[in-house]
Structure 1
Amino acid sequence: MATTTQMRVRGRPAHTIGPTYLSYTPDGTKLVTVGSNNLFRVYKTGFDGEPTNIDDCPEQNMGVDSTNDFFVTGSEDGTVSKYSLESMSFDNFLMRCSLPIRDVSISRDGKWCAVASDELVVKIVRTNDTSSVMYLREQLKPVKHISFDPSSNYIALSCTDGLVYFYSLTGDEPELVHKVDGLIRTVETDEEISSRVAWHPDGRAFAAPTATRDIQVMSRGDWEKQRAFTGGHMGDITALAWSPNGAMLASAGKDRKIILWETKTQKILTTYDYADVMDIAWHPTKNLLSFTNSNGEVYIYNDFVPGDHAHLVKLGSQPAPFVHDPLSEISANARKPTVNGHKDVPHRGARRGSPDSLDDILGSEIMGDEDDFVVDDDGAGYALVNANGKRPNGDTDPFDGPLTKRRNQTWEPQYHESFQPGSTPWRGNRKYLCLNLIGFVWTVDQDTHNTVTVEFYDHEFHRDFHFTDTFLYDKACLNDNGTLFSCPANKDTPATIFYRPHETWTTRADWRTQLPKGEDITAISLNESFITVTTTANYVRVYTLFGIPYRVYRQKSSPTVTCASWRDYVLTLGNGPVGADGNTKLLCTILNIKRDEVCQNEDLVALPDGETVKSVFFSDNGDPCIYDSTGTLLTLLHWRTPSQATWIPLLDTKLLSRLASGRKTESYFPIAVADGKFHCIILKGGDQYPYFPRPLLSEFDFQIPLTLNPRPDSGDDEDDEPANEGDELKKLEGDFVLKSLLTAQHQDLIDSTKSSHSQRSALARMELEIDKTLLQMMAVECREGEERGMRALEMVTLMRDRSGKMIEAAGKVAERYGRAVLGEKIREVGEEKLLGVMDED
C-alpha cells in the first residue's frame, strides 16, 4: 500500500538559484552537479564533508553526464565542455553550437557524446576525437532531451513538437527507424517540464511522461504501448528515472511530489514531499537516490526505498512492464541464434516464465560492454562472440545462467518450440488467435479479462460476434462450422477447450471440457469432422464436433510441436532425433482417424539445418503443406502411401520477381493454399507478424524454384509475357513441372478414394494440359534449330496421351518448321506408344 513518507532530507546548497542537474559516475563513487553559476561540484559517495569544487566554468549549465574518468556539461552559451575527474580540471571543448545547449548524453562505453541544442540538428561527437561527428537531421523542431538506450545502439530524441525520434547507430551513418507521435506533450526547450525518454535497463522498452501526467511504457521494435504508471501526479512531470535493476521507477512533478513506483505492478510504493525537483539520479548499487531542484540545491537521500520495500533494491535485473512479456511466454517457434553459428532455443528443462534475472538472458547489455562482444539487438538476447565468430575463452552459453554456475554443464539438444498455426504473438495488448480464408479471431487484454472478436469475410453466411473472455483464451481455430478456443491452465483452472458452432437447431450447442490437471495445450485444429488437441503430456486428443471424446493416443515424437487436420485426417508434428547441427529433427505423422489407418508414421520433415516450420495446414484439396523460415512453401506428395511421402517446393518467396530489384524488403505470413495459389499477408520491413488494422490478403501463383531468374508474378505491374524465347522456355518448363506435381496429387486422391466422374474427368484434363505444355516446349525447340532435335524428341516421349492425337500434333509441328528427321522420329515414338497401349489392353 502506498504511504507518504514524512521524514525529510535537508537539501545541500550547491549552486545559485536556477536549473540544477546531476549525474552519478557508473561506478557510483562520485556525484557531479552543475547549475546556473560558474561552479561545478563533485561529491564523493559516503563522504559527508565538502565536495570538490571546479571553478571558472561556463554559467547556465543545462545538462551533465559522466563516465568514471570524465564528465561532460552543456551550457546556454553553446559550449560543450569535458572535465577530468582525475585532475578535477577542464580538459577540452567537445563542441560549440550557435544556440543554447539543452541536453548532453554519453554512450555507455564513453566513446560518444550526443548534444541537443536549440538548433534543429542533433550532433554526436566522439569524446576522444572532436573531428569525428555524426548528425541527426530528420527532426523538424528543436530537441529538448536525448537518451541512449543501454546498448548505445539507439538514441531517442524528444522534440518540442511532441514527437519522439528514434535513430539506429549501428550502421556507418545514423538511420531514423521510427517516429512516435502522441506519447509526449509539446513543451518548449526552456520549460521546467520533462518529456524525456527513460530507457528501461533491459533495453527492450522505455518510459516517457504524457500530457495526462501519467508515465507510459512503450516497447522498442514493435513500438506498442505497454503498461502505464497512472494516477500518481496532479501536476506536470519534471523528472523520472528507473532504478538500476529496473524494479522501480522514481518520478517528480509540479505537484511537489516525488513518487516511488514498483515496476511489476505499477503501484505507488511511497511518496515524498519535495518541490521544484528538476533531475533525479539513482546510485548504481546502493539504496540511494539523489535529486536537484530549481533553487540550486542537491539532495542525497540514503535509504530512499523504505525498509518494507528495500528488498527490491537487491533484486537482479527485472523485466520491463510489458502487457505480455515475450520473454515469459513460449516463442512462436523460432530457434534462437547460438554462439556457434547455428540456432538455439531454451533447454528442454528450462523454466517457462519470468526469469529470476534478466542478466542471464540479455548478457552484455546488462552486465557491461566488452570490445570483443557483438550485440544482437533483435530483442531476443545477445550473442557472446568475438570478431572472428568465436566464443571468448572460458565463456559459455549466455542462456544458461551466470557464468560461474555453468562451467560444468553438459550439452543438451535444441528443440523446436510448439506453435499455433495462423496465430501471432502478443503485441501490446492485442494478438490474432486465428487468421485464415474464412475470417479472423483476435483478442484484446483488458487486464481483468479479454475481449474476443470473431469476424468473417463473407457476411452473407455468418454474422460477426464478440464476447467477454474470462478464461483468457490464447488459441483459436475457425471454419464454416464453428469456432474452437483453448486456454492454458492456471493455478485455479485446468487447461480448457471451448467450441462454439455457428448454427444450431437446439437452444444451446456450444460446449467446454477440461484437460487433466498438469496437462497443457500446445496446439489445436478444427475440421469438418473432428477437433484435435496436442498437449504437453504428448497426448493427441481427438473429439467430435459436439464434444464426444473419440480417440486419445500418445505421440511418439516429443515434445509436440503443432497439428493440422482435414476431413478424417490428422497431421501432427513433433521433435525427433538430434541432427548434426545440434537441433532435433522434426517428424510428421498423418492418421486417418475414422479408418484408424496410418498414412505416414514419424516421417522426417525436410528442413534445412537450423530452420523451422512457420505454419502447417492442409490445402483446399486436402494436401498437407508447410511454410518454413526460409520463405519456402512445400507440399507433401504421395502422403497417403506409407513411406512414400516427399516434400516438394511449390514456391520460394525469395525468388519472387517483386524482390528481384533488391529495393523491397518484405516477408510473408502464410494463410492458406487454395484455388491453386498461395494466400498470405505481405509484411513490410522487418515485421514478422501482421498487426492492426488487419492487413489485406495477397495471393501468389505457384512457382517451383528451377532457375535463378524469377519470372514476373501476378503481384507485379510487369508484363507477364516472356521477353525472349529463353524466358518463354523457362516459363514452360516451370509450368510442366508444376502441372505434373498437381496431376500426381490428383491421381493420389482418385486412387485412394471413391472417385467421382468429375474427378476422373478433371484428371484427364490435367494430363491433356501437361501434353499441351510439352507441345509448346517442343515448338520452341524446333524454332531454335535442328541441333535441338533430340531434346524436342524427348519432350514427345514424356507425353501422356494414349490416343496418339498429341503425338500426331507434335509431328505436324516438326513438319511446320521443316524438321523432317525429327518428324520421322516422332512417328516412330507414336507407333511404339500405340503398340504399348494395345499390349496393356
Structure 2
Amino acid sequence: MAQQRLRGLPAHPPGPTFLAYTPNGRKLITVGLNNAIRVFQTGSDDEPTNIDNAQDSNTAVAAANNFFVTGSEDGTVCKYSLETNSLDGVLVRSTLPVREIALSPDGNWAAVASDELVVKVVNTHDMTRVLYLREQTRPVKHISFDVSGTYLAVSGSDGIVYVYSLSSEEPQLIKKVDGLIKALETDVEASSKVIWHPDGRAFAAATPTRDIQVVSRSDWENQRAFKSGHTGDITAAAWSPNGGLLATSGHDRKLVLWDVKTQRVVKTYDDVRATIFAMAWHPTDNVLSYTNNDGELFIHTDVVPAGHARILEKDLYPAPFIHDPLAETTANARRAPTNGTKEAIPHRPARAGTPDSLDEILAEDDDLSDADPFVDDDDGAGYADATNGFGKRPRTIDDLAVVGGKRSKSSHGSFHPKIHASFQPGSTPWRGNRRYLCLNLTGFVWTVDQDTHHTVTVEFYDREAHRDFHFTDPFLYDKACLNEKGTLFACPSSKDHPAMVYYRPHETWTTRTDWRTNLPLGEDVTAISLSDSYVVVTTSADYVRVYTLFGVPVRVYRQKSSPTVTCASWRDYVLTIGNGPVGGDGTTRLLYSIENVKRDEMVQNEDIVALGPGVKLQSVFFSDQGDPHIYDSTGTLLVLQHWRTQHQARWVPLLDTRLLPRLASGRRHETYWPVAVSNNRFHCIILKGGDAHPYFPRPLLSDFDFCVPVYGRDPSSSSSSDDKKKKNKKKTHRDPDAMDADDGSASDDNADDNADNDLSEAQALESQHLLASLQHSLQADQQRTTHATAAQRAALARAEVELDKLLLQLLAAECRDGEHRGMKCLEVVALMRDRSGKMLDAAMRVASRFGRDVLSDKIAELAERRLVGLDADDDDGDEE
C-alpha cells in the first residue's frame, strides 16, 4: 500500500518558519515572516490561537509551559504569556538580527544568539539580570542548553563550538571544539547546531561531511557517528525525548530516523516537499513536528514505524559512546557493592520514564521498569540541595545510584565488602576510539576501534634495535605487554571465540614466529605479564597460567587470594596480586605472592600489599634490577625490600610525588602516570589539566630522583622561599633573555623546579643516607641469592664506601652546628660499615678539627672495640 502523503498546515507566509513544543507537550508554537504567532493545541482539530501585532520576520522561538520567547530580525526578544496569549514584555534587544533562542530547562534563563559577537543570557523573570558570553570572534548561528542547564553550547559562524559553564556568577568558557562543525554564515539554511543528548553526557552536531558526530562532554572526544544518511547539507536534527532515536533532515529533502543504539537508519521519508528548518519531537507521543521554508507546519503522527515504536516507550537511553564507561562497569560481574546499605537516588526532578538502574539504561529487552523513584526534601534535611547556577539540580545519567552494575537489593544492615577491581599495568581506558594497551621504557602499544575491528600499533623508542609494526586486529585485544624480546596480547572471549593469548617475538631463526593459545570456555583474562623467560596469565577463574616464551605451559594453579587483581614478572620471578581478607573499613586487603618458576619455589606467599585506607593500587612492576615496585593512588612509589627472604619482606616508600619540589609553590596542579623504575630513577608521564590517564599524541617521559619521605617542609620557612622566588623574578626582569616569550612564566616554573626543600644540611644528608642504605640493601639481597659477577661485587663495595662517606659528611655537618650533639655524632659514627679503621680515623680527625675532643676520644674507644671484635652496638644489646 502506498504511503499516505502528509498535508502541511499553512502556518505563515512562504519563508523560513520555526516551531517549539512546550515541555509538557500540550501546545505547539510557530513563528515566521509575518507578524502573527500561532499557538496550536496538541491533539485538537480546532483552529490555532493567533497572537497578532507581533514583531515582523520572527526568526526564533523557545517555549516553557506557561510562556514562550521569540526573536526577530530587528533584534527584539519578546516574552509572551501562554495563559493570556499576550505580550508580557521585551526581554532584551540586539542591534543585529536574532538567529536563535534557547531556554534553560527550568525556564529561568533565555540565551540569545544573534549576528552580534556577544551572546546574551537574560533572566526571564528579571530582565535586568544579563550574562554576557564574549569569547566568540564571529557572529553566532546557534545556541543550546544541556539537560541540566549548566552548560551552554554556542555554534559560531567561524566553525567553532564554544562550550560555556554557567554554574558560577560569571560564565566560564571551558572548551573550544574545533573541526566539528562547518563554518556557515548565520543566514544560510544549513545547520551547525549542537544538540545535547538527553542523558547529559554527550552532544552531537552536523559535520562538513553531512554526518552527525557525537562528542562526549567529559573528554571532548569523538564517539559514534550517524553516517551516509544525506546527500545534502543537514538543516535540522533532534533527539527523541528518551534519546533512543535521532531525526535529521537535509537539503536533499529527506527526513531520516536513526536508531541511536546501532546508528542505523530506521526509516527514510524522501517525499519532503521543501527544506525543513526546524523540528521537534512531542515529549510523550509518537509525533514529530517540523516546519519548512514554505511557511508550512507538519505534524507527523506515527512517524516511527510500528516495528520500532517500542524504542520511544523505553526509558532513558545512553548516549552512543564507542566504549561507554557505564556499560563496561555494568558488565563487570565481579565488582561488588560499594557499601552495606542500599543507596538512595539523589533528588532530581520527577520525569516519566526515568530509569531506575544502569541495567535498565543498557538493557536490550523490553521489560523495563516504569518506576521513577526519587527523594523529596520535604523535611528540609538538606540532602536535596545540590543545584546548578539556575537554582535547579542537574539531571544526568550520572545521577543514578549504581552498585556493581546493579542496584543493591539487600536489606538494610547487610554487609558487602569493597573489592579491588582487576587491571592491566601500563594500560589506559578507552578515550574516544583509542587507548594505550602498554606504556613502558621499551615502547608503547596502542589500539584504535574501527567498529568492525581494531588496528594495533607497536612503536619502539629504539628504532635501530626494533622496527615498528601494526596489524589489523579482528580479535579485539584489550591487554598487551612489551619487552626487548617480544609483544604479548590477550583478548576477551566473545560469541565467536574463547579468550585468547597471543605472543609475537621480535626476532626468530625459524619460519613460524608467533603463537596463540585459547583459554577454556567461560574463562577470561584479567591480567598478563611478560618476562625474558615466561608468559604469565591470570584469569577470571582465579587461575595463574604460566607458559614459556613459545607457548609451552609449565604451571597452572589456583591463586589463594581472589578475585585476582594483576600480575608482573621479571626473569624467572612471577608476582601475583589478589583480593584477600576484609579490613575494618570494609575494603579487601590485597595479598601478593612471588614465585620463582624455574626453581618451583614460593619466595613470598600471600603477604599483604601495604596500602592505606581508601588507597587504590595503580600499578605494579619490577625495576631494571629486578625489585618489585608498586605505585598507589596517593602518588607514592614503594619498593619491596628483603623480598628474596621469606617472612622478611616490607614495602618501603621511595618517593611521594606530592612532596616534589616542583609542587611546592602550589601553582602547579599535576599528577603522574607511572611507567618504570630504571637506573635508580622513577620514570613517569606528567598529567596536567585534570587528566587521569595519558592520551594522544604520545606524551613525553619524565623522570625523578628518589626521595624517601623523611622530613616535611617547615611552614615557617615559606616566607624565605617566597623571598627566594621574588629574587629570582627580579633577576629575570633584569635579564630579558631569560623571560618566557609570553609572560615570563618560564621563570616561575624554573623557580618551582629549583625550589628548596627547606631542609638543613644535616637533614638532607640523613635523607640521602637512608635512601643509599635501602639501595645497598637491595643490592646485597640480590648478590646473596644469585651468582654475582665481579663487577656487581665491586659495585656493592663502592656502595658501602659511599654510605660511609655520607655518614662522614653528616658528622661534619653536626659538628659544624653551634649546638653540641655529641651523642648523636657518636651514633652516626657507629653506623659506619668500614672495619679497617680508615673511616673511624677520618671521623676522629673531623671531630678534632671542630674542637670536639670528648667526641674524638669516644670515637677512639669505638675504634678500639671494633679492632678487638667488640662493637659498641652488639646484636644482643648487652653491655660489657
* TM-score, normalising length: structure 2: 0.86
Which residue, out of 95, 98, 101, partners 2:98?
Answer: 101
Partner amino acid, structure 2, of 1:232: G
In 2, are the aligned partners of 1:204 and 1:379 still within 8 Å (CA)?
Answer: no
Partner amino acid, structure 1, of 2:601: E
Distance 2:797 2:185 in 1: 76
Question: Which range is displaced more, 455-464 or 166-175?
Answer: 166-175
Distance 1:259 1:106 in 2: 26
Q: What is the Cα deviation at residue 671 of structure 1?
A: 0.8
Which residue, out of 95, 118, 128, partners 1:131?
Answer: 128
Alignment of 1:703-782 (within 5 A): 703-709=707-713, 717-718=750-751, 726-782=759-815
Which residue, out of 662, 674, 681, partners 2:666?
Answer: 662
Deviations 1:569-605 (A, max 9, x none): 1111112223333332222222222222222222222
In 2, are the aligned partners of 1:202 and 1:366 still within 8 Å (CA)?
Answer: no
Partner amino acid, structure 1, of 2:470: H
1:487 aligns to what? 491
Alignment of 1:98-497 (within 5 A): 98-272=95-269, 273-274=271-272, 275-329=274-328, 354-355=362-363, 372-373=385-386, 382=398, 410-497=414-501
Which residue, out of 664, 686, 699, partners 1:682?
Answer: 686
In 2, are the aligned partners of 1:153 and 1:170 still within 8 Å (CA)?
Answer: yes
1:391 aligns to what? none
Q: What is the Cα deviation at residue 160 of structure 1?
A: 0.2
Alignment of 1:495-644 (within 5 A): 495-644=499-648
SS of structure 2 residue aligned to 1:742: helix
Distance 1:780 1:192 in 2: 79
Q: What is the Cα deviation at residue 144 of structure 1?
A: 0.9
Which residue, out of 797, 818, 824, partners 2:830?
Answer: 797
Partner amino acid, structure 2, of 1:101: V
Question: Which range is displaced more, 273-282 or 643-652?
Answer: 643-652
Partner amino acid, structure 2, of 1:322: F
Q: What is the Cα deviation at residue 788 of structure 1?
A: 3.5
Distance 1:423 1:821 in 2: 60
Q: What is the Cα deviation at residue 550 of structure 1?
A: 0.6
Partner amino acid, structure 2, of 1:611: V
**1:721–1:169 distance in 2 versus 1, CA, 3 Å:** closer
In 2, are the aligned partners of 1:209 and 1:215 still within 8 Å (CA)?
Answer: yes
Distance 2:177 2:503 in 1: 40
Deviations 1:487-526 (A, max 9, x none): 1111121111111111111111311110001111111100
Distance 2:10 2:166 in 1: 39
**Unaligned 5+ residue runs, structure 1?**
385-395
Distance 1:104 1:137 in 2: 17
In 1, are the aligned partners of 2:148 and 2:395 still within 8 Å (CA)?
Answer: no
Deviations 1:654-684 (A, max 9, x none): 2222222222222221110111111111122
Which residue, out of 679, 685, 700, partners 1:696?
Answer: 700
Partner amino acid, structure 1, of 2:489: F
Q: What is the Cα deviation at residue 649 of structure 1?
A: 1.5
**1:59–1:457 distance in 2 versus 1, CA, 3 Å:** same
Alignment of 1:11-22 (within 5 A): 11-22=8-19
Distance 1:29 1:831 in 2: 102
Deviations 1:735-781 (A, max 9, x none): 12211211222222223333333333222222222222222222222
Distance 2:780 2:396 in 1: 46
SS of structure 2 residue aligned to 1:831: helix
SS of structure 1 residue aligned to 2:309: helix
**1:220–1:539 distance in 2 versus 1, CA, 3 Å:** same
**Unaligned 5+ residue runs, structure 2?**
345-356, 378-382, 715-720, 726-747, 876-880
Distance 2:37 2:755 in 1: 74
Distance 1:5 1:94 in 2: 49
Distance 1:723 1:319 in 2: 50
Report the count of equivalent residues. Answer: 819
1:81 aligns to what? 78
Q: What is the Cα deviation at residue 462 of structure 1?
A: 1.5
Percent identity, aligned pairs only, is 60
In 2, are the aligned partners of 1:400 and 1:406 still within 8 Å (CA)?
Answer: no
In 2, are the aligned partners of 1:290 and 1:300 still within 8 Å (CA)?
Answer: yes
Q: What is the Cα deviation at residue 216 of structure 1?
A: 1.5
**1:506–1:687 distance in 2 versus 1, CA, 3 Å:** same
Distance 1:701 1:499 in 2: 34
Aligned-residue CA RMSD (Å): 3.6
SS of structure 2 residue aligned to 1:787: coil
**1:121–1:701 distance in 2 versus 1, CA, 3 Å:** same
Q: What is the Cα deviation at residue 829 of structure 1?
A: 3.3
Deviations 1:130-181 (A, max 9, x none): 3333322222111111112222222211100111112223344322222122
**1:503–1:767 distance in 2 versus 1, CA, 3 Å:** same
Distance 2:644 2:685 in 1: 30
Distance 1:795 1:500 in 2: 54
In 1, are the aligned partners of 2:336 and 2:418 still within 8 Å (CA)?
Answer: no
1:784 aligns to what? 817
In 2, are the aligned partners of 1:338 and 1:383 still within 8 Å (CA)?
Answer: no
Deviations 1:65-119 (A, max 9, x none): 2222332222222232223333333334332222222222122233332222222
Distance 2:255 2:358 in 1: 40
Q: What is the Cα deviation at residue 305 of structure 1?
A: 0.2
Distance 2:792 2:366 in 1: 59
Partner amino acid, structure 1, of 2:840: I
Q: What is the Cα deviation at residue 484 of structure 1?
A: 0.8
In 2, are the aligned partners of 1:331 and 1:417 still within 8 Å (CA)?
Answer: no
Q: What is the Cα deviation at residue 432 of structure 1?
A: 1.4
SS of structure 1 residue aligned to 2:812: helix
Deviations 1:197-247 (A, max 9, x none): 111222222211111212122222322222221211121111001111221
**1:716–1:191 distance in 2 versus 1, CA, 3 Å:** closer
Distance 1:365 1:431 in 2: 37
Partner amino acid, structure 1, of 2:289: S
Partner amino acid, structure 2, of 1:157: V
